[in-house]
Amino acid sequence: MSDDDERGPYRVVDDPVEPTAEPIGEIVLDGTAVSLRPGETVAAAMLAAGRVGWDDGRGAVFCGIGVCYGCLVTVNDTPSIRACRYVARPGDVVTTAGHGGTR
């Protein structure tokens, strides 16, 4: 999308909580490397990278607390991981196609 700069989620700028941690690496999101801060869930890293909707045309963060199962992704070939609950590790390979459709 061409207007991504004006649209979508972002990490807090000049954060009043004054985080000191630097990014600890990257995860591979649908083939593209995105940066990862320590302690971040897959959902947080995806949103910080501007990814709002998943490649299956359905998935997205909705409840954010593990209730709705709307943010399922595949991590390192394991399907049906709740992106909002799983704390990412550098090098994790995340794909967002394939969770649409029934169940």
Partner 1 sequence: MIPTRAADVVVVGAGAAGLHAAVQAADGGASVLLLDADVRPGGQYHRQLPVEFGAVRPERAHHEQPAAADLIARLARHRRVTQRQQVTVWAAEPRVGGGALLHLADVSSGRAVNAGVIAAPRVVLATGAYDRTLPFPGSELPGVYTPGAARALLQGARIVPGRRVLVAGTGPFLLPVAAGLIEAGARLAGVLEANHTRGWVRRPRAMALAPEKVAEAARYTATLTRHRTRVRAGRAVVAVEGDGRVQTATVAKLKPDWTIVPGSEKTIETDAVVVGYGFVPQLELALALGCDTEPGPDGSPVVAVDDAQLTSRPGVYAAGELTGVGGAVLAAAEGALAGLATALDLGTLGERGHAARASAWQGARARYRRFADALAAVYPVPDGWQSWLADDTVVCRCERVRYGALRDAVESGATALGTVCAATGCGQGRCQGRSCGTAVAGLTATLSGVDGPAELPDPLALSVRPVDTPIPLGELADDPDRPE
**Contact (CB, 8 A) for 99 and 59:** yes
Per CB under 8 A, contacts with partner 1 among 37-76 are 37-44, 47-48, 52-54, 57-70, 72, 75
**Contact (CB, 8 A) for 55 and 97:** yes
- Among positions 2, 12, 31, 77, the unique one binding partner 1 when judged by CB under 8 A: 12
How many CB atoms lie under 10 A from the CB of residue 5? 9
Check residue 34 for interaction with partner 1 (CB under 8 A).
no
Give the phi and the psi of residue 44 in degrees, each rounded to 5.
-65, -45
Tokens found for residue 47: 């949103």
Check residue 31 for interaction with partner 1 (CB under 8 A).
no
Check residue 28 for interaction with partner 1 (CB under 8 A).
no
**Interacting residue ranges for partner 1, rule: CB under 8 A:** 6-21, 37-44, 47-48, 52-54, 57-70, 72, 75, 78, 80-82, 84-87, 102-103
